[in-house]
Structure 1
Amino acid sequence: MTTALSDDAAALGLTRRVVRTGAGPVVVHAGTGDGPGVVLLHGAAGSWTTWTPLLRHAAEAGDPLPGVVALDLPGWGGSPSPGAPLTAASAAHAVAEVARACGHERWRVVGHSLGGFLALRLAALEPERTTGVVLVSPTGPAVGDAVRHPVRGGARLPWFAGMLVAMRALAALPGQGRGVLTALDRLGVLPRLAAPLFHDPGTIHPSVTAALASEIRPLAFVAAARASTLVDLGAFQAVRCRVRAVRGARDVFAGSRDAAALRRLLPDFAEEVLPDAGHFAAVERPDAVLAALAAVAG
């Protein structure tokens, strides 16, 4: 079974703090260490705890990650929603502010799902400070196409299109449908609904699917999906560092077309497709993600 998610920052050698940014207060769990930081950006249905299986795997392997900066992006986890609509650019600026506040002038950045878009935007915004990028199960141009063209794009990413419809419905309910999500979790339905996200759902620790119920933010998800349509992919041409992508062969949010688009834009890009992972490669195959992170060091 995969490693459980945890919110015990101290056990991982991290300290919780709040950093004031242009996008509002951002909760961050940061570690210590010399050299470039390792900035971890979760996706549109997560928080900093998404990365705890990866951090535990690194520690148990005797090579803990130094300078960890694990954020709750504005509107997710413990970070309140920003006062103004969040764009990829404003979110990237906020991440850079957090990294500097944690004492880092240079960093490697790891982005999961829609956090991958943000990781590339940060690398384009700060090309001299970003020393490497790892995209974990990255959501690419196909998601923007599914948002702009629900019929054509949704046919290519039906699971994402269905999730977007569900998030819009939940966002319209009192409390953003929190009661509905909690009820589904208590009834044991949520793991079955989340099964397409994983290569082997039976091996996924219950804490992972429980987090989907407690951490998902329908309004923030819908806003992030909308923001993905505004991303100027041409801006990624400003990225100068090595970029490595890791995704599962059964990823329902990303595919070969996304990788092909990134390969045309980025000067040093390579992707590894994992036969035994789905959309949460950092949970199912943390060793592969750590290998990719090592490949962009230096």
Structure 2
Amino acid sequence: MSAEHFSDDQMPIRRGQGLRLSVTSSDADAPSPESGGETLRRGQGLRLSIHDPAAASPPSTLLRELIGAPQVIELSHGPLAYRAAGHGPPLILLHGWAASSRYWLITLADLSADFRVYALDLPGFGDSPALSEAGTVARQAQAVLEFADALGLTTFDINGHSYGAAVAVVLAASQPQRVRRLVITSLGAIGDEIERLIVALARAPLDLTLRLGYPWLNVIAPWVDLWRPLMTALLCVPPLPQMMAARFIENGLRERWMLQEGIVDLTKMDLRAHLMAVASVGDPQVFDAFRAVPQPTLLIGGAQDRIMPPDSLRAAAQTMRQPALALIEQCGHIPMIEQPDAYHTALRSFLVNEGMKSP
């Protein structure tokens, strides 16, 4: 195992046989009032074993219950679907692109002993209808906050995956009194400042086109819906599901039944939500939020992630105030279903142990 060399303000993370959790705090990282004076310090890390990904098991009783129809709550923009389980401090989970709350089924079951866990279908995904206006990252964050308000969640932890992590970061930055801890799963920063500026400039025409053309998307969306059953049937024909998952999954799925759920989520994704999620790549507001969040934050991802490589997580962490980083070996872009044991152990180490330090 080769060592990586960092300066004092960088975070050393080395790939091992399992997972290494590295926490850093420099003298410049003064704790914010919202964090209750917590200071995360650099340590030797936490190594976790990883179970054989080839081992498969049927869904537990709780998982079978959660797979069923989600709960629905009425918000100002319309209905929003979600799944909930457990008792304890509230934890909100946000899925990524082409996904839904079903991606969090194993997490819901695993963390239900420690938290009251809420997994949302963001507007336009899963069983939640799309927003009638442009669903920007900031607008999605507003919907999540409204969900928390509707359930009376004064404060909560939040964990977002990929696109959902961008929503979580923006929400955490705008609501430092409400969001206690932040987990960023499989999302990092793109390049350096110059590269980010180039991306921001390149996406500006797409941004403008989507905003101006959104009313037309509302018109054609029902016609696109007519094709969904056929698309689902075609994409479920082997080996298409395995081929589509190969870029995102490193060593196959431990819970193989999740592959079918993924195809259903992909075909249920609203065209408007899909386009707005694509347009969010390189959103300057997300990069600004990385710098602004005062909360203790865990960035976690797969060591073999080809969508958001480890270096992008390191780049994001170097801009943050109280970051901790974790890489899971033998894992791609979706750690909560690829390596659930290691992933959930890292979450508990961060959320539960760090939570004990809060006043």
TM-score range, shorter chain: 0.7 to 0.9
- How many residue pairs were aligned? 272
Residue matched to 2:304: 250
Residue matched to 1:296: 351
CA apart distance, 1:218: 6.0
TM-score by length of structure 1 reads 0.79
Residue matched to 2:283: 230
Pick from 121, 140, 152 the counterpart of residue 103 of structure 1: 152
Pick from 240, 265, 269 the counterpart of residue 189 of structure 1: 240
Aligned residues of 1:37 and 1:99 also touching (Cα < 8 A): no
Residue matched to 2:162: 113
Relative distance call for 1:14 and 1:125 in structure 2 (3 A) is farther
The gaps in structure 1 that reach 5 residues or longer are 151-170
Output aligned runs, 1:126-145, within 5 Å.
126-138=175-187, 140-141=189-190
Pick from 273, 279, 284 the counterpart of residue 327 of structure 2: 273
Aligned residues of 2:66 and 2:83 also touching (Cα < 8 A): no
Pick from 233, 243, 250 the counterpart of residue 199 of structure 1: 250
Relative distance call for 1:108 and 1:4 in structure 2 (3 A) is farther
Cα distance in 2 for residues equivalent to 1:192 and 1:174: 24
- Flag the structure with higher helix content: 1
CA apart distance, 1:99: 1.8
Aligned residues of 2:188 and 2:313 also touching (Cα < 8 A): no
Residue matched to 1:260: 314
Once the two structures are overlaid, the 10-residue window that deviates more, 262-271 or 23-32, is 23-32
Pick from 110, 127, 131 the counterpart of residue 57 of structure 1: 110
Aligned residues of 2:254 and 2:339 also touching (Cα < 8 A): no
Residue matched to 1:26: 80
Could you tell me which amino acid in structure 2 is paired with residue 66 of structure 1?
F
Q: Which has the larger radius of gyration?
A: 2
Cα distance in 1 for residues equivalent to 2:290 and 2:144: 17
3-state DSSP of counterpart to 1:197: coil
Cα distance in 1 for residues equivalent to 2:107 and 2:157: 15
Q: For residues 62-81 of structure 1, what are the alpha-carbon distances to aligned partners after superposition, in whole Å with 9 as ceiling and x for unaligned?
A: xx242111100000011001
Aligned residues of 1:5 and 1:50 also touching (Cα < 8 A): no
Could you tell me which amino acid in structure 2 is paired with residue 206 of structure 1?
R
3-state DSSP of counterpart to 1:138: coil
Aligned residues of 1:116 and 1:136 also touching (Cα < 8 A): yes
Could you tell me which amino acid in structure 2 is paired with residue 208 of structure 1?
M
Could you tell me which amino acid in structure 1 is paired with residue 351 of structure 2?
V
Aligned residues of 1:26 and 1:73 also touching (Cα < 8 A): yes
Could you tell me which amino acid in structure 2 is paired with residue 30 of structure 1?
A
Cα distance in 2 for residues equivalent to 1:147 and 1:234: 12
Cα distance in 2 for residues equivalent to 1:84 and 1:272: 36
Residue matched to 1:44: 97
The percentage of aligned residue pairs carrying the same residue is 27
Residue matched to 2:261: 211
Aligned residues of 2:301 and 2:327 also touching (Cα < 8 A): yes
Q: What is the Cα-based RMSD across aligned positions, in Å?
A: 3.3
Pick from 216, 221, 236 the counterpart of residue 274 of structure 2: 221
Relative distance call for 1:257 and 1:146 in structure 2 (3 A) is farther
CA apart distance, 1:31: 3.4
TM-score by length of structure 2 reads 0.66
Residue matched to 1:122: 171
Aligned residues of 2:301 and 2:310 also touching (Cα < 8 A): no
CA apart distance, 1:110: 0.9
